[in-house]
Structure 1
Amino acid sequence: MGVAEKQGRARSLSVEDRQAMLIDAVTPLLLEHGRAVTTKQIAECAGIAEGTIFRAFGSKDELIRAAMAKQLDPEPFRARLRAVDPELPLEDKVRAIVALMRGRFTKVFALMSALGTIGPPPGHDSRHEFTEILGRALAPDLERLRVEPARAAQVIRMIALAASVPHVRNGPAFDDDEITSLILHGIIGAPAPPTTAPAPPT
């Protein structure tokens, strides 16, 4: 499909659809170029005329803020966490939660690092409460947990976060299986099953 055809199709989009398309196009470019990304690069990636960016957002900075707001929005992530089946085996459930958290933390921190951003954009609600969601997911395994589900959820989030940020983990990366094993069994491995005492002599 040629650029001219893409441009013709883009003109038929609503403002909201065009904005969403530009946000999707600019996000990988921000990870690669940071704030140095040009409107020409964005337009070429989206297959539109450069002027379309300014009609949709007004400025490159406004587009960047919109892309950051979308990535920092916690609700889509919460929805994916809520979709984790509470009836899964505990190990599979924790691994699924870890994978979701690592994916979110890795992308958000990579984007913030590329943009040189210290905190979320002005006006963004930073109150991300996931403990209750994870606590409900872990509740069916209460008898296997040594701590309350809410505390277990805090531990999962804390370890997944630390493992996802390069300057915090300060060493080789962890995969989902390693993190899951660390959360469930610590650094000494799964506890050995109790041995049966020999029967007293008769």
Structure 2
Amino acid sequence: MTPDERRRALIDATRPLLLEYGTSITTRQIAECADVAEGTIFRAFGTKQDLIDAVVEDCMAPEPVVAAIDAIPAEFDLEDTVTWVIKALSTRIQQIRLLMSALSEPHPHKNPRKPPHGDFHRPVDQAIARVLARFDDQLAVGTPTACWVVSAMAFAAEMPMMDRPDDGEPRNLARLILHGIAAPITLEASC
């Protein structure tokens, strides 16, 4: 295994353990899950906290979301495209929220370290802008505003304190973004 492959295997093995046990996981648990010797963790990352930080960085990396957005088929219409974007954002938001929740457990003997935050939003917004640019002629606002609305609504829909009357169905959220809450205005034919 190359050093990068070993680091990837340790990150992948640690993530579900963090979700289940929080930061009380042991390097022994991680080593067993990754099927490596415990010393491998320290050679690859230095400390358990460095490995936890790497898991957080990996979870917050924009590349999987950008790849999902870039994979939107070109033949999709605007509603299908926005629905796909919302699904990609919602999936990542849920993953980040679960991990942050697992990391925020109180630790009576430790000073909690703030998790590292990479630059997630810029590449994701750029990916959203690329796919929405296909529909510039159908947007009532500029692409930057459209990107902001889609991202903000996807984020808001994933907040645990928000009641979601439609269970957060991405298609319904896409329709709300695209058509608002008002019923279509029908004009009566004049005589």
| TM bin (shorter chain) | 0.7 to 0.9
Superposition TM-score, scaled by structure 2 size? 0.82
Of 134, 137, 142, which aligns to 1:143? 137
Q: Which segments of 5 or more consecutive residues in structure 1 lack a partner in the other structure?
A: 1-12
Cα deviation 1:78-129 (Å, max 9, x = unaligned): 23323323441111101110000001111112111211288541xx443621
Q: Does the aligned pair in 2 maintain the 1:86–1:138 contact within 8 Å?
A: no
Q: What SS does structure 2 have at the residue aligned with 1:108?
A: helix
Instruction: Compare 44-53 and 26-35 and name the one that shifted more.
Output: 44-53
Kindly report which structure 2 residues correspond to 1:2-13, keeping only aligned pairs within 5 A, or say none.
Answer: 13=1
The alignment status of 1:45 with 2:28, answered yes or no, reads no
Look up the match of 2:170: 176
Look up the match of 2:119: 126
Of 31, 43, 49, which aligns to 1:55? 43
Q: Which segments of 5 or more consecutive residues in structure 2 lack a partner in the other structure?
A: 105-111
Look up the match of 1:82: 70
Q: Does the aligned pair in 1 maintain the 2:27–2:48 contact within 8 Å?
A: yes
Look up the match of 1:197: 189
Q: Specify the code of the residue in structure 2 equivalent to 1:126.
A: D
Look up the match of 1:93: 81
Q: Does the aligned pair in 2 maintain the 1:134–1:150 contact within 8 Å?
A: no
Look up the match of 1:18: 6
CA shift, 1:186, in A, is 2.5
Distance across 2 between alignment mates of 1:75 and 1:101: 12
Q: Between Structure 1 and Structure 2, whose CA radius of gyration is higher? A: 1
Of 148, 158, 161, which aligns to 2:155? 161
Distance across 1 between alignment mates of 2:137 and 2:118: 35
Superposition TM-score, scaled by structure 1 size? 0.78
Q: Does the aligned pair in 1 maintain the 2:157–2:168 contact within 8 Å?
A: yes
Distance across 2 between alignment mates of 1:171 and 1:115: 25
Q: Does the aligned pair in 1 maintain the 2:129–2:147 contact within 8 Å?
A: yes
Distance across 1 between alignment mates of 2:156 and 2:81: 20
Q: Does the aligned pair in 2 maintain the 1:132–1:150 contact within 8 Å?
A: no
Q: Which has the higher contact order (CA 8 A, sep 6+)?
A: 2
Identity %: 40
Distance across 2 between alignment mates of 1:93 and 1:48: 42
